């Protein structure tokens, strides 16, 4: 997620709303991944019990949609930082952006 604490703090100072989007996107993605496991388990159980229906595959839409929403939120966050010229130097462990 973050390469160092300096990158996280620099990102937070550079784009506060981008940081909010980034944190929210992380939780949304986490919810999508966590909800995918029981949905897949339910579909697997239904297929073993022989009551499987293709309509059950719609249960997988919600986790996939949550993961996609998290990806979009993360993309928005990094584009907000990129608009301000946010750059992280890996070797020096420093962040720079326009106005800093």
77 lies in which domain range? Answer: 5-96
SS (H, E, C) the chain: CCCCHHHHHHHHHHCHHHHHHHHHHHHHHHHHHHHHHHHHHHHHHHHHHCCCCHHHHHHHHHHHHHHHHHHHHHHHHHHHHHHCCCEEECCCCEEECCCC
Across all residues in the chain, what is the average pLDDT? 90
Question: What's the pLDDT score for residue 100?
Answer: 54
Q: Which residues contact 72 (CB under 8 A, 6 or more apart)?
A: 25
Quote the number of domains for the chain.
1
Instruction: Report, as an integer, the average pLDDT of 90-98.
Output: 89
Model pTM score: 0.81
């Amino acid at each position: 997620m973050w390469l160092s604490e300096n990158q996280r703090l620099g990102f937070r100072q550079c784009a506060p709303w981008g940081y909010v989007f980034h944190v929210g996107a992380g939780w949304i993605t986490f919810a999508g991944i966590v909800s995918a496991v029981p949905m897949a388990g339910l579909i697997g159980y239904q297929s073993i019990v022989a009551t499987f229906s293709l309509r059950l595959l719609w249960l997988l839409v919600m986790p996939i949609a949550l993961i996609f929403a998290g990806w979009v939120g993360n993309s928005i966050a990094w584009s907000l930082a990129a608009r301000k010229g946010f750059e992280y130097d890996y070797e020096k462990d420093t962040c720079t952006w326009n106005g800093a």
